[in-house]
Structure 1
Amino acid sequence: MRAISIADRAAFSGTQGVDLANHLVNASGLRVAPDRRRGRGSGVNPSGRFEPFARGPVDDGWSTLEDLPALKTEVQAETARTIITTNASPDISFDRSANPYRGCEHGCVYCFARPSHAYLGLSPGLDFETRLFVKPNAASLLAEEIARPGYVVKPLAIGTNTDPYQPIERRETLMRAMLEVLEAANHPVGIVTKSALVLRDLDILSRMAAKGLARVALSVTTLDRTLARAMEPRASTPTKRLEAVRALSEAGVPTMVMTAPIIPGLTDHEIERLLEAAKAAGARDVGYVLLRLPLEVAPLFKEWLLRHYPGRYRHVLSLLRSMRGGKDYDADWGRRMTGTGAYAMQIRRRFELAADRLELNRGRAPLRTDLFSPPKASAAGVQLSLL
């Protein structure tokens, strides 16, 4: 484990200095060797919060850590019992969502979904991006659930937890199968992704959009390719995402750009440029979310910040805490997405002024629900009608 010198400690004074020194100590003992985690977002793989013991790599002097192979993506099939998840959160625009995957190979270090891997007994760190679960029955479950008597149709959000177009989707094609079910039933859908792979399904999306049944949001966090590579190592490059926005827009699919998350002191200077790029690519709407650091995401992000931008560590956390009531994160509804305080207000006003100047967010037509036609019931999953 790395020792912190007297000079190091003297350089970091105050609460944040102690915080930085502690993280230097802790992270150095948990970090996975660079050759093993090449192309991954997290540098550590700490035990989940529900585990009785904390485990980490320790060099016992025999150099055994050097012999460990590089981490590979492992995919395991999971037979899901349900696919549609409902929520009653007042600060999000949908009440139901579906996710064909658990974990995400994109490896975005700030991903708020990372803590969900702890429920599987796995680490929200490297396990989240290397040990993935697929739901092969996602499409059939979706057809059964929207065919049930009494089902009330509302737009279904996909990609709100893990990305449905992450790299393994090329092989698994679960998302396309789900879109085929939704198109056949004229069921409205909204998609969020960081991947240009969404263009593979442009044929389905354009047909649905022509009926007012589909919209897509591309998340573009930064225009800096180097930063994106470090922060979102296996997601499409910013250029590819903007090209996808253009192709979707030209095909008639209502397209939004989410500048999410905005990281104070690291990406917030790009707000105006990001919105200008979104407008130039044909986006109609834009939105943002302030960096969220729930549960295990906070130490993972801090470790990443120390590795890549150590000189900005104190500044980024100071700004973030000024918008989170002095904490790393505030989970209260109404504040978790945008924060509070003077700096949060400044970000909001800059975003609003830029969007207004570019004539974005001028009114979004709701997705249609009146065309919905439930799939025919199957004897396997849904009770057949009497007549």
Structure 2
Amino acid sequence: MLNENFIKKISERNKEPKWLLDNRLDSFSKFKSLDKVEHIKHGLNILLKFNFDLERINSFDLGSKIIERNNDNIVVMDINKAVLEYSELIKENMFSTFNEEEKDKYFIELHRALFSSGVFIYVKKGFKIQLPIFENIVSSNKFSYNLIVVEDDSELTFIEDLKSKVNEYNSSVTEIIVGKNSEVNYCSMNNSTNGHNFNIVRSKVKENGNINFFSGLLGSGFNKTEVSSFLEGNNSRSNNVGMFFGDKEKQFDIYARSFHVGKNTKSNMFTKGIVKDKSKSVYRGLVHVSEDAIGTDGYQKEDILILNDEAEADSIPELEINNDDVKCSHGASISNVDKEKLFYLQSRGVNEEEGKKLIVDGFFYPLLREIKSDFIKQKFAKDFEKFLKK
């Protein structure tokens, strides 16, 4: 049963500083004051059911062993150990992209109170790591927090791979700080077969910095995910590419955001998804341009393909523009399988099921061109091919 003693035991086990325990207890108090979430609602008619009782969690996975690195160029370390060894750096950046006005406070405050695993990556100035860093997660009621700090003139590729075969709750928060003239490639692949997945990835990008996101949702029964970029520095860039595939009764609540703060910033958000059987998806996209963010170039596009009549999909793109020196646009399409294309394939000897697979393959193919990292491109292609063969 969740209570303050449970929170204190987490902190005591990790020998945490007082400031972190105080933060945990404050978040837990806020969580307890909120109404229990039993469904996710957008607008008047868009509803997703959430049927996992978070308050009954009384144990969770402490995380897998991290292969640590600590040298003059890069630090890779368990987050609990890093809190002790890099306390000031972590205190400055931990949950720095969050505020009191969060829409998903119920999930966020619980996560801030309970996170017990994760990785700290610190890339020092001028170092460009050539090979990607992998984090493989086998979920079992897991609350993980990752903090990635990349200093100026540096480069990093990070790939997170989630797998689970049980109906558990996985909660993950990742914050990425991108220094001046630096680039980060971040990939998150969810290959779970069941369970509930809550995932937030946020970045703060400084002058001339660049963040490339890719997220692939191929699993979990319930997915609530958010990817956000805060383009604080002038000439900073964000590229956010995502895909999802819903079958059976899977549910997706996907939120992509870019906040333009600096001058001459650019963001691109491109998502493709497929729903079939009785699966449901809600995609929300937001481009926010501040008053001083002149020269902004913001673009978002989402395409959803519905394979049968019982599947459902909704798309809610938004633009919030506070100055007139911008170039912003959005597009959204929700469509069914083109029967003429399917008929043409069948006329060439391809059966209906194989024809739909070919159409699905062609639907997702344009995403490959948008993925900047060759490592991530190969990872996506391999995982997607495996998924289609199931």
Larger gyration radius, structure 1 or structure 2:
1
The two structures have a TM-score, normalised by structure 2, of 0.30
Q: TM-score, normalised by structure 1?
A: 0.30
Structure with the higher fraction of residues in helix conformation? 1
